[in-house]
Structure 1
């Protein structure tokens, strides 16, 4: 696991009406401070990758659909510098993922339905000074193969 990345398994409390689940609490060590809460929808087959932040951490949760999430540690001082981590997340595997600043991240929508993702950040987006840096989905530094492996 990449240093600083955190995964939290979600517990669903189910009854005949549906379910309830706590996602992020203020007494957990998932988010150092609150900056912004956002919602994103991506369609089947879409790859949104890669980007990273120098100042903010992200906390991701996929509400609907399923995704292959890819992380790459760009932090020179990190013991996991240059390592890649893959997480399969979504309604089939409800996880909370904390992504520290300096870790490039992206995802591919899996299956035939869109993904809906909610995410929290430690900083609010600033149009005049965005903390967002991009790498191509096929950047040779990360060299990730996005193709489905037929096993």
Structure 2
């Protein structure tokens, strides 16, 4: 009869400390960026097994605490539009696929009132995008396959009182047309 050695916790090897290669969670700015929108670079750590991307961490600061997290799948060539929130900020992490995010500032008291921002994000441009309340937004999958992104809003979703207002993707009052 063969004896099998049993593994114990002492058999494991601790991970070695590591430091981010660049500025972890570094801010990214775009021309004429809508006020209150925050854009952060997401860094990928890869090895022979695959990769890991930290989407959000308490290490980034107090404002990165997350009460609710969910994964969104965008069907190939689909458009998820238009929405805004009155109470929460959306914090969207894009790490795969080819997606376009369109933002439209409808806050009359904002210095960027009626400004449109268009961001191409995904595998080639990994970012964490924070969209403040009352900034209208849409996500378009530019690819021929489904793509996913993660939302980590600042408030938990309440199905009995949803904080979400919608318009159809082709509404003429928004100065952007999807291809």
| TM-score w.r.t. length of structure 1 | 0.89
Query: What are structure 2's unaligned runs of at least 5 residues?
Result: 1-32
| 1:122 equivalenced with 2:154 (yes/no) | yes
Query: How far has the Cα of 1:25 moved from its partner?
Result: 1.7
Superposition pairs for residues 1-151 of structure 1, below 5 Å? 1-28=33-60, 31=63, 33-147=65-179
Deviation digits for residues 59-87 of structure 1 (CA, Å, limit 9, x no counterpart): 10134311111001111111111110011
- Which one has a bigger Cα radius of gyration? 2
| TM-score w.r.t. length of structure 2 | 0.76
After TM superposition, what 4+ stretches of structure 1 lie above 6 angstroms from structure 2? none
SS in 2 for 1:36: coil
Query: How far has the Cα of 1:31 moved from its partner?
Result: 4.1
Is this contact kept in 2: 1:35–1:121, CA < 8 A?
yes
Question: What is the alpha-carbon distance in structure 1 between the residues aligned to residue 97 and residue 71 of structure 2?
Answer: 14
Query: What are structure 1's unaligned runs of at least 5 residues?
Result: none
Is this contact kept in 2: 1:31–1:57, CA < 8 A?
no
CA RMSD of aligned residues (A): 1.7
How many residue pairs get aligned? The number is 147
Structure showing the higher helix proportion among its residues? 2
Query: How far has the Cα of 1:33 moved from its partner?
Result: 4.7
Deviation digits for residues 45-103 of structure 1 (CA, Å, limit 9, x no counterpart): 11110000000001101343111110011111111111100111111211111111110
